[in-house]
Chain A
Amino acid sequence: MLVYSLKRFAQLFTTVLGVVTLVFFTMRMIPGDPISAIAGDNLSGEALDRMRSQMGLDAPLFVQYLNYLGHLATFDFGNTVTTKLPIIGLILGALPVTVSIAVGTIVLTVLISIPLGTLAAFTAHKGHRMLDNAITGVAMVLDLMPSFWTSLVCLLIFSLTLGWFPASGTVSIDDPAHLLRRIALPVLVLSMAQVATLARITRTSVLEVLSEDYVRTARSMGWSELRVLFRHALKNAALPIVTVIGLSFGNLLNGTVIVEFIFTLPGIGNLLVGGMNSRDYQMVQTLIVFYALIFVAINFATDLIYRVFDPRVQF
């Protein structure tokens, strides 16, 4: 276990370093440099040079890279160009909103999709295709609805027409009841897409397990179909399901950017789009690295969970 974790961690470190390096050098390929982008035409050449040396942009690229790594290691991401606020502060301030959306989505998704997928698999296994076809069909349509479009439609129906949920307004983590009302629609929208993926994989995994030889063995010892389903099938199907939850986290992060933008929620996705629009590349760069780190860490965690739950894996 220890050796495996260390190895996996070394692999993780390589990936993270690769991510950081890739982002750094790609951002440096931007035509012109960050300073000209901020300053526009308002500053003289000298003033620009002064700013450059202040920000360490006159050093050779490689030195800049090492500086960047050094700063990252101490969680110093620099300041925003426009407001001169420390980026890390903005991110930490915005994070709770994004995390509540993500956690809410995962909880809702798991609660809906695992029973649904299991039911579809169980009926399909017994040869009843109707319910199974209905569930898989709905799941596919949900999966393919572009989340920004679903958001607008939900906004139109639930906020503008029915007035159930506020469409805009301030959000604070200190007021959970209001926060919940504000994130309810985004969570619903994101869950629609996630439910589809997870219900489908649950269905496939459970269906596969149900046709395994050991399920027949259990049936031959007198277990009822339901008991076999709960004791054997779900336990075995849990492993691929956990993996898929980890992998679909990437799509979830994609989705948070969109819903935060549409529902004007002050999460890190909104920071990213704002950074893009105000050409704050420092901010964009930091956020993209940040997103990648979250995604990689989640996958690392699901991988370890997988290995803890699967007795066959030898460390």
Chain B
Amino acid sequence: MAHFSIPLPARRTVSIDLSRFNGIVRLLANRRVQLALMILVPILLLTTFRSVLPIAGPLETNLRAMTKAPSLEHLFGTDRMGRDIFSRTLAGIQISMFVGFAVALLSLIVGLVVGTLAGFFGGAIDRVMMTITDIFLAFPSLLLAIGLVSVMGTGMLPVVLAISLSDVPRFIRLQRSMALSLRSRAYIDAARTVKASHLWLMTRHIVPNTIASLLVAASIAAANAILVEAGLSFLGLGIMPPAPSLGNLIRDGQSYLEQAWWISTLPGAVILLIAISLHFLSDGIRQVLDPRSRK
């Protein structure tokens, strides 16, 4: 555990509030967060600047370099059509990251709004919301996504919506349970004795105290979305080839497993790496929030 301490002035006369940035500083001082960033930042840089890297484009075929094993020229090897797997993986990461981010953001926003309302007001709104989430939670997540893709067709938007559909109810549940327990806190009662509005109570007292936990959940949801998207594409139900989504890459290699192991396994390892670092990130946030959880 790295120890970071920022010396605070003993007597503060200027009202610059250092403690406000404490959270971010402590987050960056957390070893798991550092580890996660050490993996995520280079990957993101590589994918962002892949067009200036000295590698072939993800869709470029090269008939002279078909099914080449990994080498310095082709880090991850090439596939049957001579396309560079490394380049395709970088492009795939971009798609995966987008899906992960979009799902996490969508789930976070809907979960925050609906969950807060249901938990804070309770009663009929709450019961209706809980019945609806129950119905969605009755589907195993991949199957719900498959069902939805069968209706909306394949492509980026349907995939994002299909994955979110099983995450949103979980976020609503989470936010609702936190709002429900915060609702009876003494500081909410104190604000209610001066007739503070519902909006005030929700935005000042409930959301600031739940947002961090939602962020933890969101980074896990992002990791999960990346895995589910890859699974869908792998089954041929996600993003359509030739778009190089990571699931498609693995699917491409499935038939040549014996002849060209690298086509499937290396992109899969990258997915794993990203998922692990997102989990480290969420673990780190949780540790910073609640030092006891390290137990």
Contacts and interface: CB of A to CB of B under 8 A. Distances in A.
B109 interface: no
Contacts of B141: 250-251, 254
B159 interface: no
B146 interface: yes
A77 interface: no
Interface residues of B, number: 41
A164 interface: no
A152 B265 contact: yes
Interface size class of A (residues with CB under 8 A): 35 or more
B114 interface: no
B295 interface: yes
B147 A141 contact: no
B147 A14 contact: no
Contacts of A148: 230-231, 234, 247, 250, 268
B151 A30 contact: yes
Query: DSSP class of B's interface residues: helix, strand, loop or mixed?
Result: helix
A87 to B, nearest CB: 16
B272 A254 contact: no
A18 B131 contact: yes
Contacts, number: 134
A250 B140 CA distance: 5
A267 B7 CA distance: 63
Contact of A18 (B135, B234, B258): B135
A156 B265 contact: yes
Contacts of B235: 257-258, 261, 273, 276
Contacts of A160: 257-258
Contacts of A296: 138
Contacts of B135: 15, 18-19, 22
A145 interface: yes
A112 interface: no
A199 B148 CA distance: 32
A136 to B, nearest CB: 10
Contact of A284 (B142, B150, B276): B150
Nearest to B226: A146
Contacts of A262: 254
Contact of A146 (B151, B271, B295): B271
A272 B275 contact: no
A129 to B, nearest CB: 10
Contacts of A306: none
A16 B138 CA distance: 8
Nearest to A291: B143
A124 B295 contact: yes
Contacts of B265: 149, 152-153, 156
Contacts of A276: 146, 150, 235-237
A22 B138 CA distance: 11
Contacts of B144: 288
Contacts of A253: 140, 142-143
Interface string B135-164: 100111111101110110000000000000
A281 B236 CA distance: 16
B121 interface: no
Instruction: Output the residue of A15, A148, A253, A284 with the most chain B CB within 10 A.
Output: A148
A140 interface: yes
B279 A140 contact: yes
Interface string A244-269: 00000111011001100110000000
A155 B147 contact: no
Given A148-B250, A254-B142, A281 B150 contact: yes
B73 interface: no
B264 interface: yes
Contacts of A147: 231
Most buried by B among A16, A124, A257: A257
A56 B139 CA distance: 28
A144 B271 CA distance: 9
Interface string B101-139: 000000000000000000000000000000110110011
A23 interface: yes
B99 interface: no
20 contacts: A11-B134, A27-B150, A30-B150, A144-B276, A146-B231, A147-B231, A148-B230, A148-B250, A149-B230, A152-B254, A152-B257, A152-B268, A153-B265, A155-B257, A251-B141, A257-B235, A272-B146, A273-B237, A276-B235, A295-B138
5 closest residue pairs by CB, A with B: A149-B268, A18-B135, A254-B142, A250-B140, A144-B275
Given A146-B268, A149-B230, 10 more contacts: A14-B134, A15-B131, A18-B135, A148-B247, A152-B253, A156-B258, A253-B140, A253-B143, A258-B142, A292-B140
Interface of A: 11, 14-16, 18-19, 22-23, 26-27, 29-30, 124, 140-141, 144-149, 152-153, 155-156, 160, 207, 249-251, 253-254, 257-258, 261-262, 272-273, 276-277, 281, 284-285, 288, 291-292, 295-296
